Structure 1
Amino acid sequence: MVTFVRAASLTNFSELFSELGGDPDAALRRAGLRPAVVREQDQLIDALTAGRLLEEAASITGCENFGLRMAQSRQVSNFGVVSLLLLHQPTLRKVLSTLIEHVHMLNESLVIHMDDANGVVVLREEFTLPDALPQSMELAIGVLFRTCNLLLHAQWRPLRVCFSHPAPCDTGLHRQMFRCRVEFDADFNGIVFRTEDLDAPNPLADPVLVRYAKTMVDTTQQGRQASVGQQVRKAIYLMLPSGNATCICVAQGLGRSVRTLQRELDGEGLSFTGLLQEVRSDLARRYVRNPDYPVGQIATMLGYNSHSAFTRWFGTLFGCPPEVWRERNPPPSPQRRAQAFSRA
């Protein structure tokens, strides 16, 4: 299932790649993209292509924080017409809920979920893509962090920022940008902060402008609604670690009955079981390839109650135990990725 992202996701790609000694136009062409696309912010491009472009750029330049450095220059205005709706909401809670509601207009492969319990908020981000894309994830979380920071300024004090990928050799930019504890090899990607921050007032709040922006956004997003299949995939990505990725729970989360959800999926030529298997397969490959994840931890992250149950499922699907698959499929080194990219 191809998912699309606005070309605005590549804002500052060319400038940064050039600054680091690369040829951005050549890199874009090798990825199958026109160099001019980076200036056409509302143009839709393949999200996986954009993600792989950032990974290869990081490999070629040797810049492990390429995505985070791109995030440093982002403004809320890079969200396009949605930015008007975000900028003038009364509180951070409304800003984030509005962003979650309209994220499909920015990136169809990105899912954002907010859990608020016991005085702590966990704001999670995930990509519904088959590849592990640490540069894209650092860009996404960096942009989300800056959005909150631009609205709340000194009031924005998160508790920690989490990434599921391994730490780069130098985490100085991460500490400088986030100004809080940064965890790598975590169970999720996201930002953790206090519930009280959700109700901090937005000094730019303007209900009149919100109503005007809502009209513009509603007009723009006609024909851009996420398909039921995309919504279900995103829900599965979020619910797997908690063991709640069942048809009943997903249907309830989407405000549908099980029968209605199954009928709508059938209309798109999909099934819940097939989507669940697809997401599990994508995440299993991504997690098992990471040597820092114990197999027991991966089993839990994919919703299995035991190591043995996960191992049986993995062996049936991939033809060998996860430990053997990991030995046969190590993560590519930066040198190998750069060589592959230069040959493309």
Structure 2
Amino acid sequence: MTHRPIIKDYLLRSAALEGFVPLMRELGIDGAALIADAGIKPDALASPESNISYAAFLDVLAAAREASGLQHIGLLIAERQSMSILGPLGFAIAQAPDVREAIGELNQFLHLHNTGIAARLVIEGDTVMWRLEVLLSNRPGVRQQEDLAVSIGVGILRSLLGRDWSPELVTLQRRAPMNTAPYRQAFRCPVEFEAEHNQAVFDYAVLDTRIAQSNSQLHAILNSHLRGLDASGKLDYATEVQQIILHAMKGGECTLPRVAQMLGTSQRTLQRRLSAEGRSFRDELETVRARVAMRYLEETAIPLTSLSMTLGYSDLAAFSHAFRRMTGVSPSAWRKGNRAN
């Protein structure tokens, strides 16, 4: 069977590069050249609403890390950005009545800004975890993107709650850099690395905090505008299913019935809609499994047997067979050739 390439591209608004060139200039680096080298044309940056390749954006972040020698370059970019980079979405969440609705709106419509990231809230008792997942998790620059995304998320909460607010904890999937001080300074809370999720953790009461500057009439207008944009530019269904599979996998139950339930549809409808795009649930499951496996193999020393269980395979042999079919090499060979420094 012929599979679609694992490294599928996504799109994001060019506003994601706001402040990048001036920052690079401060560091003595030609940021415009890094952008051009990644294949992003200057006219794509003329309007913040223009779409650019997400893979190219990650390449820009990877190049910036290499040129600057700063593992925390994503945090520095985030310092120069605000909710305004989200365009209409940023304006809408600023007018939401409370933090719960603001985050819910951002999670729902984030794909209007970036189709390569999925976000969700997880609530356990009095603890809230706002999780961000990068779908192109096996591409250079992804660690900087995760730093950037979580930092922007915390920045959004500070815009809504006050600049002195900080989460109780931030966790990142990336390996700990040699210098962790910039992370503690940026988030102003404990930071854990090599974690299962990229997330900001805070108290449940935060969700019910009213947003002082909110305007209900303006919010209704902006929300209606977002729904109009959403209706005219829906994600392809396979990408939507991949996002749900990724969340389901992290929850420990990644089956067709579970994913269909999370999508609010029937198993038959899910399969039919994927079939209309020339895909199947198994295709999407194996694609996500391979991407997650690559990330674990590159970032951690997890034993292959444990990894196969994490991904939901019956045994190591089944995992190795599936991984080789998707990538052309064994898991151990991939780890040897791609281990992160």
Instruction: Give the TM-score normalised by the residue count of structure 2.
Output: 0.90
Distance 1:176 1:329, change over 3 A: closer
Within-5 A mapping of 1:106-117: 106-117=113-124
CA apart distance, 1:36? 4.9
SS of structure 1 residue aligned to 2:162? helix
Q: Does 1:244 align with 2:256?
A: no
Whether the 8 Å CA contact 1:87–1:205 is kept in 2: the answer is yes
**How far 1:69 moved relative to its partner?**
0.6
Query: What corresponds to 1:73 in structure 2?
Result: 80
| 2:4 paired residue number | none
- Provide the secondary structure at the position in 2 that maps to 1:225: coil
Measure how far apart 1:303 and its partner are: 3.3
Equivalence for 1:336: none
1:14 is matched with 21
Match of 1:147 in 2: 156
Check 1:311–1:318 CA distance in 2 against 1; reply closer, same or farther (3 A cut). same
Shift of the 75–272 alpha-carbon distance from structure 1 to 2, 3 Å rule, reads: same
Aligned pair partner of 2:9 in 2, 26, 30: 2
1:285 maps onto 2:294 in alignment = yes
Structure 1 residues without counterparts, runs of 5 or longer: 334-344
Asked if 1:102 corresponds to 2:83, the answer is no
**1:263 and 1:138, CA in 2 relative to 1: closer, same or farther beyond 3 A?**
same
Q: Distance in 2 between matches of 1:68 and 1:232?
A: 30
| Contact 2:44/2:51 (8 A) holds in 1 | no
Displacement of 1:34: 2.1
Task: Give the Cα–Cα distance (whole angstroms) in 1 for the partners of residues 30 and 226 of structure 2.
Answer: 36
| CA positional deviation for 1:298 | 3.2
Q: Which residue identity is paired with 1:101?
A: Q
Of residues 218, 228, 231, the one that matches 2:237 is: 228
1:270 equivalent to 2:279? Answer yes
The farther-off stretch of 146-155 and 12-21 is: 146-155
Percent identity of paired positions between Structure 1 and Structure 2: 29
**How has the CA–CA distance of structure 1 residues 232 and 63 changed in structure 2, closer, same or farther, with 3 Å as cutoff?**
same
Match of 1:131 in 2: 139
How many residue pairs get aligned? The number is 332
Q: What secondary structure, in the 3-state scheme, does the structure 1 residue paired with 2:232 have?
A: coil
2:94 counterpart of 1:87? yes
Tell me the equivalent position of 1:158: 167
SS at match of 2:155: helix
* 8 Å Cα contact 1:291-1:326 kept in structure 2: no
Q: What is aligned with 2:5?
A: none
Counterparts of residues 245-260 of structure 1 (less than 5 Å)? 245-260=254-269
User: Is the CA contact (8 Å cut-off) linking 1:122 and 1:191 kept in structure 2?
Assistant: yes
Question: Which residue pairs with 1:330 in the alignment?
Answer: 339
C-alpha displacement of 1:221: 3.5
Structure 2 residue runs without a partner (length 5+):
1-7
Which of 200, 203, 219 in structure 1 is aligned with 2:212?
Answer: 203
Residue 10 of structure 1 and its aligned partner are, at CA, apart by 0.9
Kept after mapping to 2: 8 A contact 1:110/1:126: yes
Amino acid at match of 2:77: M
Provide the rounded CA distance (Å) in 1 between the counterparts of 2:271 and 2:163: 47
Residue 338 of structure 1 aligns with which residue? none
Q: Partners in 2 of 1:291 and 1:94 — Cα distance? A: 36
Distance 2:250 2:16 in 1: 28
Describe the shift of the 1:104–1:315 C-alpha distance in structure 2 as closer, same or farther (beyond 3 A). Answer: closer
Q: Encode CA deviations 1:59-96: one digit per residue, 9 max, x unaligned.
A: 11111111111011221122101122100111111011
Distance in structure 2 (CA, Å) of the matches to 1:51 and 1:43? 17
The 1:174–1:226 alpha-carbon spacing in structure 2 relative to 1, beyond 3 Å, is same
> Is 1:213 equivalent to 2:222 in the alignment?
yes
- Inter-CA distance 211–157: structure 2 relative to 1 (3 Å threshold): same
Task: Check whether the contact 1:105–1:221 (CA below 8 A) recurs between aligned residues.
Answer: yes
